[in-house]
């Protein structure tokens, strides 16, 4: 009996050591994406992801915040690296936002139904180069620049960027205080605050490109929920930084957006992924389509929706997109890189499950990632290619152009692993303490 207990303890210590190594590797891999000025490459291996997306960068900040909490008591050097790099990324994003304030201000003066309003040059682009301008690339002897999208209703017109910057900033200040935020970032937040609040408060009910750069003739539940959450975070940021803000307006508008989300996207108790501008849901059959990005609605954005809607939607995602697999496809019919299973969505689900106390589901995903990628130093891909979701294959031949490999070394995937494993480890600790306490009371 004693030997059995001893072997169990040895096994637990070995697993903990292996996990600690995976965490350190993922952390190191993630830091490699971040330049000195806070510019964060989405991928270090896929040339078309050489830009910095505000969405990805904000998620990296959130991953670094979780790492900082984890390292705070056991590794001061890594703790400092996490805080410093998170601050650099926020500084870069707020600098670029401030430099694009004239575009945001222009959008605030235009009729939302006008063709001019829809042009990218009146909005913050979803991705930028290291200097904060339009991303450009030379590939196979041809030059391409996002500047060519400026006058279009473009896939680069996305509305979750500013809300996510506010969310990341809010959580950074909450964790480390205002003084840890670079002073330039504070000044740019103050400068940008009035126009950015006005902007996100008025664009939520207009079509834009969704989380996957698709369907920019529709509204998306992920985007609407991100704006609601961003409004709430902005209110807290203003209070913490002493920025004069109409708190009643912000709270009222965030509540209105939550109501809009509920009234526009729910069908038979399920929050669907998209809707037309007239409020009709977007579907071509009797199914209720969902998107794996909706996991972030319930794990990060947390709008005021009925609990039953969350339960039903998560169940729908599990049945239709996970379908018994460890990782989900993005949505039915996805053809990007032949439509694989997405690490970042699966890992966010692992974080969601950990927060809900379901350590079994959470641990299964985390262990799958560690077992498959620890040998690669936790350099994580965007997806695992399975070709189950897209019977028509990859019409744009992205997989073929990338040497028949998925996009690898994706910062967002690596950040999501860190967010998931931190939440999982914290829940394990809480569960262990609770179990010990229950045993002692017997």
Domain residue spans in the chain? 323-442
Structure-block tokens of residue 408: 């690898």
Single out the residue of 271, 327, 325, 260 nearest to residue 298, CA to CA.
Answer: 271
Angle at 407 between CA 403 and CA 408, to 5 degrees: 105
Helix (H) or strand (E) holding 412: helix 411-441
CA atoms of 184 and 264, how far apart (whole Å)? 39
Q: How many Cα atoms occupy the beta-carbon half-sphere of 2 within 13 Å?
A: 0
Residue 313 neighbours by CB under 8 Å, 6+ apart? 270, 271, 290, 294, 298
From first to last of the 442 residues of the chain, give the pLDDT tens digit.
Answer: 554 443 344 344 556 679 999 999 999 999 999 999 999 999 999 999 999 999 999 999 999 999 999 999 999 999 999 999 999 999 999 999 999 999 999 999 999 999 999 999 999 999 999 999 999 999 888 899 999 999 999 999 999 999 999 999 999 999 999 999 999 999 999 999 999 999 999 999 999 998 888 888 899 999 999 999 999 999 999 999 999 999 999 999 999 999 999 999 999 999 999 998 777 777 655 577 999 999 999 999 999 999 999 999 999 999 999 999 999 999 998 989 998 999 999 999 999 999 999 999 999 999 999 999 999 999 999 999 987 667 678 888 999 999 999 999 999 999 999 999 999 999 998 776 554 345 434 4
Crossing angle of helices 76-99/101-109, nearest 10°?
50
Would you give the DSSP letter of residue 401? H
CA 417 to chain centre: 12
Query: Helix or strand or coil: residue 339?
Result: coil
């Amino acid at each position: 009996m004693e030997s059995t207990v001893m072997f169990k303890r040895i096994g637990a210590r070995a697993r903990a050591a292996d996990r600690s190594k995976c965490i350190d590797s993922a952390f190191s891999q993630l830091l490699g994406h971040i330049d000195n000025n806070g510019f964060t490459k989405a991928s270090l291996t896929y040339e078309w992801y050489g830009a910095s997306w505000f969405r990805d960068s904000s998620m990296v900040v959130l991953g670094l915040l979780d790492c900082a909490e984890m390292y705070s008591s056991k590794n001061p050097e890594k703790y400092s690296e996490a805080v410093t790099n998170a601050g650099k990324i926020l500084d870069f994003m707020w600098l670029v936002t401030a430099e694009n304030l004239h575009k945001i201000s222009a959008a605030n003066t235009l009729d939302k139904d006008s063709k001019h309003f829809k042009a990218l040059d009146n909005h913050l682009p979803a991705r930028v180069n290291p200097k904060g301008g339009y991303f450009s690339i030379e590939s196979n002897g041809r030059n391409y620049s996002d500047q060519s999208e400026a006058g279009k209703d473009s896939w680069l017109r996305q509305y979750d960027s500013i809300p996510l910057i506010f969310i990341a900033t809010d959580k950074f200040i909450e964790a480390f205080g205002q003084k840890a935020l670079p002073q330039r970032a504070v000044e740019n937040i103050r400068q940008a605050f009035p126009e950015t609040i006005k902007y996100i408060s008025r664009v939520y009910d207009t079509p834009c490109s969704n989380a996957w750069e698709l369907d920019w003739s529709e509204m998306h539940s992920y985007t609407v929920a991100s704006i609601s959450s961003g409004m709430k975070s902005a209110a807290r940021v203003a209070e913490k930084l002493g920025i004069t803000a109409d708190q009643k307006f912000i709270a009222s508008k965030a509540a209105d957006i939550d109501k809009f989300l509920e009234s526009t996207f729910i069908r038979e108790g399920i929050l669907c992924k998209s809707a037309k501008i007239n409020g009709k849901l977007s579907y071509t059959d009797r199914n209720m389509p969902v998107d794996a990005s909706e996991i972030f609605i319930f794990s990060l954005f947390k709008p005021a929706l009925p609990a039953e809607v969350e339960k039903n939607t998560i169940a729908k995602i599990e049945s239709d997109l996970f379908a018994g697999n460890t990782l989900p496809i993005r949505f039915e019919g996805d053809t990007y890189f032949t439509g694989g299973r997405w690490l970042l969505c699966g890992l966010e689900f692992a974080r969601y499950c950990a927060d809900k106390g379901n350590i079994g589901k959470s641990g299964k995903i985390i262990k799958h990632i560690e077992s498959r990628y620890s040998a690669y130093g936790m350099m994580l891909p965007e997806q695992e290619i399975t070709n189950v979701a897209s019977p028509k294959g990859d019409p744009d031949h992205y997989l073929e152009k990338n040497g028949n490999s998925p996009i690898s070394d994706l910062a967002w995937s690596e950040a999501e692993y860190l967010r998931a494993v931190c939440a999982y480890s914290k829940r394990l600790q809480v569960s262990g303490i609770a179990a010990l306490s229950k045993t002692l009371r017997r």
